[in-house]
Amino acid sequence: MLRDKIDELLEQVQQMSAKNTEEIEALRIKYLSKKGEITALFNDFRNVAPEEKRELGQYLNKLKTVAQDRLEQLKEQAEAIREQEDKADLTRSADPIVLGSRHPLSLVKEEIIDIFSRIGFTVEEGPEVEDDKHVFGMLNFAPEHPARDMQDTFFVEKEVGVQKPTDILLRTHTSSVQTRVMTSQQPPIRVLCPGRVYRNEAISARAHCFFHQIEGLYIDKQVSFADLRQALLYFAKEMFGADTKIRLRPSYFPFTEPSAEMDISCNICGGTGCGFCKQTGWVEILGCGMVDPNVLESCGIDSKEYSGYAFGMGVERIANLKYRVKDLRLFSENDVRFLQQFQAC
What is the reported pLDDT for 315?
A: 94
Which residues lie closer than 8 Å to 333 by C-beta, 6 or more apart? none
What is the reported pLDDT for 337?
A: 82
CB atoms within 10 A of CB 21: 13
Closest CA to 180 of 168, 193, 169: 193
Residue type, 197: V
Q: Give domain limits for the chain.
A: 2-87, 104-342
**Rounded Cα gap, residues 270 and 244, in angstroms:** 8
Highest mean pLDDT among 36-40, 249-253, 318-322 belongs to: 249-253
Nearest 10 degrees: Cα torsion 240, 101, 191, 290: 40
What is the reported pLDDT for 183?
A: 94
What is the reported pLDDT for 234?
A: 97
Give the domain 104-342 fold.
BirA Bifunctional Protein; domain 2 (3.30.930)
159-163, 275-279, 339-343: least confidently modelled range: 159-163
List, for residues 49-89, the tens digit of each pLDDT value. 777 778 777 877 887 888 888 888 888 888 887 777 777 67
What is the reported pLDDT for 216?
A: 97
What is the reported pLDDT for 28?
A: 85
| pTM for this prediction | 0.68
Whether residue 271 has pLDDT greater than 60: yes
Whether residue 4 has pLDDT greater than 80: no
Element (H, E) at 66: helix 50-87
Residues in the chain: 345
Long-range contacts: 3-7, Cβ < 8 Å, 24+? 3/56, 3/59, 5/41, 5/44, 6/41, 6/56, 6/59, 6/60, 6/63
Pairing mode of beta strands 189-198, 122-123: parallel
What is the reported pLDDT for 159?
A: 56
What is the mean pLDDT of the segment spanning 251-279? 87
Closest CA to 293 of 257, 252, 250, 253: 257
Q: Residue 41 — pLDDT band, cuts 50, 70, 90? A: confident
The rounded percent of the chain whose pLDDT value lies above 90 is 41
What is the reported pLDDT for 163?
A: 45
**Rounded Cα gap, residues 321 and 343, in angstroms:** 18
List, for residues 131-173, the tens digit of each pLDDT value. 888 989 899 887 777 656 655 888 886 655 554 546 888 998 9
Across 166-281, the runs of DSSP E, i.e. the strands, are 166-170, 189-198, 210-220, 246-253, 256-265
List, for residues 95-137, the tens digit of each pLDDT value. 777 777 788 999 999 999 999 999 999 999 999 999 888 989 8
Q: Residue 31 — pLDDT band, cuts 50, 70, 90? A: confident
Residue environment code for 58-82, b if the CB has 16+ CB neighbours within 10 A, otherwise e: eebeebbebbeebbeebeeebeeee
Q: Residue 344 — pLDDT band, cuts 50, 70, 90? A: low
